[in-house]
Amino acid sequence: MKAARAKTPRRPAPKKPSNPSLKDPVGVYCRVRPLSRPDQECCIEVINETTVQIHPPDGYRVFRNGEYRETQYSFKEVFGTLVIQKELFDVVAKPLVEDLIRGKNGLLFTYGVTGSGKTHTMTGSPGDGGLLPRCLDMIFNSIGPFQAKRFVFKLDEKNGVDVQCEVDALLERQKRDAMPVPKTPSGKRQIDPEFADMINVQDHCKVEEVDEDNVYSVFVSYIEIYNNYIYDLLEEAPFDPIKPKPPQSKILREDQNHNMYVTGCTEVEVKSTEEAFEVFWRGQKKRRIANTQLNRESSRSHSVFIIKLAQAPLDADGDNVLQEKEQITLSQLSLVDLAGSERTNRTKAEGNRLREAGNINQSLMTLRTCIEVLRENQMYGTNKMVPYRDSKLTHLFKNYFDGEGKVRMIVCVNPKAEDYEESLQVMRFAEMTQEVEVARPVDKPLCGLTPGRRFRNQQSVSEMLLQSFPPLPSCELLDVNDDQTLPKLIEVLEKRHRLRQMLSEEFAKNVLTFKTMLQEFDSSVVSKENYIQGKLSEKEKIIAGQKMELERLEKKTKTLEYKIEILEKTATIYEEDKRNLQQELESKSQKLQRQASDKRRLEARLQGMVAETTMKWEKECERRVAAKQLEMQNKLWVKDEKLKQLKAIVTEPKNEKPERPSRERDREKPVQRSVSPSPVPNAPPVRLRHRRSRSAGERWVDHKPPSNLPTETVMQPHVPHAITVAAASEKALAKCDKYMLTHQELASDGEIETKLIKGDVFKTRGGGQAVQFTEIETLKQESPTGRKRRSSPSNPNPPEDAADAEWTDVETRCSVAVEMRAGSTLGPGYQHHAQPKRRKP
């Protein structure tokens, strides 16, 4: 019974890019290689042309509701085990070659686990060439008749191209022809038999629409990225058997068009498929491969084969190449064979193999991280930095993802059960890569010259030669006796013969003249060549010195880069410490603020407690003082009574004993408050007096609450020119510079005590008014209980209520410093007591 297929849940659909018409998604194709043995267990199945299904093998199967959990992945196209190389090339690589000839960049790379068929897909096998030889064959089949002579195009050291004049190109061709070339005994150039069958594709595939008015030239280079270092596989190092020199790593740079390139990389101009593939094979022999438990010849580095196509239009005559650099188009196709990702516990790698595997996995992980960040930025509108510089592999391909061009990826998978987990990770990464979009390249405008210039001028020369001969007369004989047609024909043919002889003689003269010119030119070339050789030797010495200086600077650059990396890490650590210290400082400042607020609350609470305690003690002191006064008055009364009795015994008969005054009796007796004098005979009348304030000349606010009661004290407060208010107001305070509050309270002896609280009025910063209290005056009446006038001879028995009719006005002053804002009143908790000072009546 076939197991049911269950798809894994997908993520929610993100938002699409804003302008998808200007971008194309990365084309991802899947290729499944056949099993090496028919008895091997298979975990990958091709469902249709775009879908592949992967299921856990027997050892990894996980039951879920009684069913096997299987996953399906969709790609642009899926190629099964029976697909041939030509079919894969037509679908994946052929569009990239067509774009290359039209002046557009392209990137094609293979990705997969070790032993999944990446190198076979890219290079091929004898008799069955891969994508790389087929791309080269299609390029030269398309531009073969329109190739420029060698050294007409010359690449500079800044990833650009120049057009040389015919003389310079001729000198370089002669110099190249003078170099020895290994040949076979038959005289032909020697070809390595290892790749002779690979380049024999015999498909004759070519691009149909090629601009015939352009000239083309192909340059190839081959590099590898090993342990995150870039090496040139075409570099010819001098052979030293005693101390062989290791290859030097190369540096990545960015040109004026923001394209990444390898400085000092060898770029060879090739004119045929055989020559280009021979260059590739020469570098392939230097590539680092090793025998692992997963693959007998496992690639231990990422290889990049770069094909550059330079093209420029012909001039108006169709003979020479235009020298304008703006008209030169340089396009590039990069074919990348990535090293296989692998787990070290499966390969049992040790030493160098373990280090190589770690660097390979690290670079592939960086590639995956860059793809994930690009996808997130494009779909969710974020602006995260893509970590291209974390790996040389991603840094080299930065311009493909941030610039223009087409990107194609072939995911190679091995369906054997042992690669299930690695294949699952590869499938997930490949499916995610399809969601990344790359800007579509823009077509370059035409040069503006008339098309068809090359063949039009070639035809015009032959037409001029034919027009110089006289036309042939009619050769038709209509009559047997016609004796004019043949003589005319003979005459015309003789003229043509004489003209031909003249042209032959002229041609011979021109040939001699041209030979003479060539000899003169050869002699001048020899002299110039000798001169150039001398200059070249000098330049070579200069270049050797510059190379040494360049090596020194490269070493210094590496040292500085290492120092910069250390400084960046140190700066990161310091920034982290700074953030931690700032957080700690903020927490401590908040703690200090909380402590300060708690301290202020505690101080306010303690002040209230102190004020309350002070008030209680003052009341207790007043009670004790009153009790002491009453006790002293009683003692004084007792003494007075004894004196009176003694005097009465001496002078008069004994009177009735007066009652002892008591505070209860005084309190029960109704108090008669009157300003009139006591009914003592012959007592002078008493007049009410008004106290004049010390600040009578100033403007005052007299604040008298409506709850105050009128008192009958002798000294009444009087402030002239005062504004009397029942409640403090901003308007009244703005007109005056002094403030007085009349406050009444009940004293401990039951009498009404009047306090006059005075202060200064001043303006605040906010434009309002504020009051600062400076003085308190206390006015109250006191009844000297028990104090009686001594008996006189005229009045030996004074009345008992004579002491009650005598009142004493007491004024108490104290200075305070209390600040009150406008509109506020004296709080109920505020009390201030001062030691009273008695005034004599």
Question: Annotated binding residues for ATP, as ranges?
Answer: 112-119
Place of tokens 């038999």: 193
One-letter amino acid of 97: V
d(CA 499, CA 488): 16
Q: Give the chain's count of helices (H) and strands (E).
A: 15, 32
Q: Which residues pair with 303 in a beta bridge?
A: 224, 337
**Alpha carbons within 13 A on the beta-carbon side of 829:** 9
Selection from 553, 652, 688, 664 nearest residue 248 by Cα: 553
Report phi then psi at 709, rounded to 5.
-110, 145
Nearest residue to 419 (alpha-carbon basis) of 133, 115, 705, 107: 115
Q: Supply angle C-alpha 607, 613, 618, rounded to 5.
A: 125
* Whole-angstrom distance, CA of residue 204 vs CA of residue 318: 28
Relative to beta strand 689-692, strand 715-718 is parallel
Contact 801, 669 (CB under 8 A): yes
The pair of three-digit structure tokens given for residue 21, joined into one six-digit string = 């018409």
**Three-class secondary structure of residue 218 per DSSP:** strand
CA distance 398 to 375: 14
- Tell me, what amino acid is at 357? A
Query: In terms of Cα–Cα distance, which of 219, 214, 221 is closest to 311?
Result: 214
Residue spans of alpha helices (H) in 652-682: 663-668
CB 271 within 8 A of CB 150: yes
187-to-195, 381, 580 alpha-carbon distances in Å:
20, 65, 78
Residues sharing a CB contact under 8 Å with residue 760, sequence separation 6 or more, in sequence order: 737, 738, 739, 771, 772, 774
What residues form the annotated binding site? 112-119
- Residues β-bridged to residue 71: 54
Return all residues near 800 (Cβ < 8 A) that are at least 6 apart. 658, 659
Q: Using CA atoms, how far apart are residues 26 and 28, in angstroms rounded to an integer?
A: 6
Amino acid at 739: Y
Those residues with Cβ within 8 angstroms of residue 809's Cβ, 6 or more apart along the chain or in another chain: 713, 714, 715, 779, 781, 839, 841
Give the distance, in angstroms, between the CA of residue 618 and the centroid of all CA atoms in the same chain: 72
Rounded to a whole number of angstroms, the CA Rg of the chain reads 58
Residue 428: what are its φ and ψ, rounded to 5°?
Answer: -65, -45
Q: Which of 745, 764, 755, 779 is nearest to 819 (CA)?
A: 764
Question: Comparing C-alpha atoms, which of 369, 368, 345 is closest to residue 357?
Answer: 345
Amino acid code (one letter) for 209: E
**Cα–Cα distance measured from residue 166 to residue 152, given in angstroms and rounded to the nearest whole number:** 7
Tokens matching residue 107:
């990137």
Of 195, 36, 191, nearest to 124 by C-alpha is 195
**Is the Cβ–Cβ distance between 414 and 423 less than 8 Å?**
yes
Here the tokens at position 537 are: 């030797």
Tell how far CA 337 is from the center of its chain.
32
**Torsion angle defined by CA atoms of residues 675, 785, 679 and 712, in that order, rounded to the nearest 10 degrees:** 10
Phi, psi of 451 (to 5 degrees): -70, 160
